[in-house]
Amino acid sequence: MGATFAVAAGPAEAVAPTGTQKTACPTGWGSRDKTDADATSASVTNTRAGRHACFDRLVISVPGAGENVGYRVGYVDRLHQDGSGRPIPVGGGAVLEIRVAAPAYAPETGAPTYPGRVGRPLPGVDVTGYRTFRDTRFAGSFEGDTQFGLGVRARLPFKVTQLTDRVVVDVAHNWTGAR
């Protein structure tokens, strides 16, 4: 089952006028494609997901990459595997395609560094009970890029953050910032 965890990516708490703690959900992320052209020779090794008060989070680990992990994240009508063009079904009302500019194999040897199998859910990631996430799929690694499909409840705002050795994708629970 997906663990709940926190990765520092910005403030999540605001103090209400009464002095009680209340979660302030971010707004303004939008749903347009987000990209960063950085590249790395480090390899994808792990994925994990977490639930938060305002959003669901997917983290893709690329140890040794620092903050130089490029990505392209955007909504697609249907996920197609790079190279073959094979469609990969992803459950949910909308599909986010996540491309990370890092291979899921060791470039020197071609040995896999990530245990995902094409067309299958992400290993160790169970999004059952998540408010926004509905499904995950590994789409493969082709010419140094690794591709994932993330099924979400509907086309919702999202943000992408580069942190040391990882790319973080947060998808809001709604458009208004209401909990």
In tens, the pLDDT along 94-138 reads 999 999 999 999 999 999 999 999 999 999 999 999 999 999 999
Check if the beta carbon of residue 88 is closer than 8 Å to that of residue 10.
no
**What residue ranges define each of the domains in the chain, with the CATH number in brackets?**
29-172 (2.60.40.3500)
Q: Is the model's pLDDT at 6 over the cut of 70?
A: no
Q: Provide the whole-model pTM.
A: 0.86
**Is the pLDDT at 15 greater than 60, yes or no?**
no
Question: Which pLDDT value is given to residue 83?
Answer: 85
Beta-bridge partner residues of 3? none
